[in-house]
Amino acid sequence: MKILLWHVHGSWTNAFVRGGHEYLIPGPPRGNGLLGRDWPAAREVDLSGAGSPGSDADVAVLQRPEEVGWVPGGIPVVYLEHNTPHHPNQPHPLKDWPGTIVHVTHFNDLMWDCGTTRTVVVEHGVVDPGPLYTGDLARAGVVVNEPVRRGRVVGTDLLPRFAEVVPLDVFGMKTEQLGEMGRGDHPLDVLHPELARRRAYLHPVRWTSLGLSLVEAMHLGMPVVALACTEVVRAVPPEAGVVSTDVDELVRGLADLVADPALAREKGKQAREFALAHYGLDAFLRAWDRLLTGVCG
């Protein structure tokens, strides 16, 4: 198939374009293009004029409401919703739409009010970075973008409580604003080996869709300490670390993991096995193939 797809979420797209199809990525002025990514099956197209290279796509995967008006006529579409609503009564922008909304988690499907619109869930898949975990640094790693701006949503206010017992290294966009714990933004091939040197992974997020960085950390073989919010209770089994809404319990759990390398390694092994079984790339791509084949008829 030729699949028209906007480059909106880099990590998700990095998995999706491994499916053996041809991926048409709109560039400016109606898209971001490839942004330098090495995706051999993808090519940048211009949608600004009639008869553009994207007009012969077999199907389009939309991710923002404005993209509905940018798809050349006659191309079947599905709408991929990455985000969690602000509250359970929030209507989806495509509520009562005669199409299909694809949610990335069961929690999001539960919480969005989509009305009569058909919804399906295709859970995340991750390109396996390999079992890179060493845990040789008695520190905890965190990955979050713009932690100062996003504040309580991503648990930025909780970081000092964890930092009292374990040194934290926070990676991601604009993490330098956190001071000495901020480590900045890095490409995945740099981030993953660095993250894997930390003894444990901390996920202090209160309210967001399931972060791919959490799933990637589990693939690395890292034990996890996470708030039991949104989809985390499905994504992190008890044997992979500590999951709770009791922050004191999480603080103690993180301290225990960092103090006990053998315990951390065993829980990290369980985390990797679970992630491979539930968020593997092959199952993700097969699910999308079934969905898009059905939409294309």
pLDDT of residue 73: 85
Q: What tokens does 191 get?
A: 């981030």
pLDDT at 244 over 60: yes
CA atoms in the 13 A half-sphere facing the CB of 101 = 27
Task: Give the residue among 154, 144, 138, 156 at the shortest CA–CA distance from 254.
Answer: 138
Reported confidence tier of residue 51, pLDDT bands at 50, 70, 90: low
Triad 207, 283, 222: Cα angle to 5°: 55
261: cis peptide before it, omega within 30°? no
In angstroms, the first-to-last Cα distance of the chain is 12
> Residue 49 has what pLDDT?
63
What local confidence, expressed as pLDDT, does residue 48 receive?
Answer: 76
pLDDT at 52: 66
- Paired sense of beta strands 168-171 and 22-26, if any: unpaired
Residues contacting residue 155 through CB under 8 Å, at least 6 positions apart: 144, 204, 205, 206, 227
Residue 281 scores a pLDDT above 70: yes
Q: What is the pLDDT of residue 50?
A: 56
**Per-residue confidence band for 123, with pLDDT thresholds at 50, 70 and 90:** very high
Alpha-carbon gap, residue 217 to 236, rounded angstroms = 11
Please tell me the distance from the alpha carbon of residue 292 to that of residue 295, in angstroms, as a whole number: 5
Per-residue confidence (pLDDT) for residue 145, from 0 to 100: 96
Higher pLDDT, 297 or 223: 223
The DSSP code sequence of 168-179 is EEEESTTGGGG-
Q: What is the mean pLDDT of the chain?
A: 95
Q: Burial letters for 6-22: b for 16+ Cβ neighbours within 10 Å, e otherwise?
A: bbbbebbbbbbbbbebe
Compute, in degrees rounded to 10, the torsion defined by CA atoms 9, 214, 105, 269.
Answer: 130
**pLDDT more than 90, % of the chain:** 91
33-42, 154-163, 168-177, 241-250: least confidently modelled range? 33-42
pLDDT in tens, 187-223: 999 999 999 999 999 999 999 999 999 999 999 999 9
Phi/psi for 49 (5° steps) reads: -130, 165
Check residue 72 and give its pLDDT: 87
* Averaged pLDDT for residues 57-78: 93
pLDDT of residue 23: 97
Mean predicted confidence (pLDDT) in 107-123: 98
Q: Vertex 147, ends 172 and 267: CA angle to 5°?
A: 65
Q: What is the mean pLDDT of the segment spanning 226-251?
A: 98
* Mean pLDDT, residues 57-64: 96
Half-sphere exposure of 237 (CA within 13 A, CB side): 14
